[in-house]
Amino acid sequence: MCCKWLTTTIITTKFIAVYSLFSNLNYKQLLKMRRLPVYLLLDTSGSMTGEPIEAVKNGVQVMISSLRQNPQAIETAFISIITFDSVARQVVPLTDLASFQMVDIKATGTTCLGEALKLVANCIDNEVAKTTAEQKGDWKPLVFIMTDGIPTDDWQSGLEEFKKRKTAYTVACAAGNSADSNLLKQITENVVSLDTADSQSIAKFFSWVSASIGVTSTKVEDAGKQVTGLSELPPPPSELNIVT
């Protein structure tokens, strides 16, 4: 009888210990198990040759370095890079900030934005965990598009595929006078423009993207809610014009 009582006591004690362990997983800890996917679609067409493409490469590196200093972003944000010229390529798959390594990119060819939209749609399908009955999926992805020109492919069919996927928000940047802000408005209501595609302006764009990812990471971690539009993001620098 004593042994039976002792066995029951040990089992009960273990159950209480396990229950306490899971009870102590607070809301924020549970949220940290969900990733915040971020997709950057970058124009690498021939018109980006020289200063613009170098500014893009530097901008990505500075953005990653900045996000690594953000305690919320380092836990939550996962970054992917998709380039588009005559073809679209996912040059960096969805990767955590600590492991992220930028590859060399070159400017060449035309501007296949439609292919890039189709590709990011497929990447969202394959890389972003969906919510099931057993677990919460990843947060809805953020998509940032930067282009300095007009699409040379069937961008409408790419947009049709992209629109079937749910994102938290998509921001498109028209870099320089050759980009068509009105066209980008058909992709997303969140459009900003740069008067010139020089190194200083592009650097400001990536700095703002970094701040926007940081704000979104903080909101999902602290409040369990996502940012849904420009009004909830940091004010853009003077080089960035909000297209209305």
Task: Fill in the DSSP letter of residue 106.
Answer: -
Measured between alpha carbons, how far is 16 from 242 in angstroms, rounded to an integer? 55
Measured between alpha carbons, how far is 39 from 90 in angstroms, rounded to an integer? 10
Q: What is the pLDDT of residues 193-210, one digit of tens each?
A: 999 999 999 999 999 999
Structure tokens at 91: 């040059």
Residue 20 has pLDDT above 90, yes or no: no
pLDDT, average across residues 36-60: 98
Mean pLDDT of the chain: 90
With a pLDDT cut of 90, the percent of the chain lying above it is 83
DSSP notation for 48-67? GTTHHHHHHHHHHHHHHHHH
pTM: 0.87
User: Please, are residues 160 and 117 in contact by the beta-carbon 8 Å criterion?
Assistant: no
What is the strand order of the sheet 77-84 is part of? 88-96, 77-84, 36-43, 142-147, 169-175, 190-194, 240-242
Q: What is the pLDDT of residues 102-149, one digit of tens each?
A: 999 999 999 999 999 999 999 999 999 999 998 899 999 999 999 999
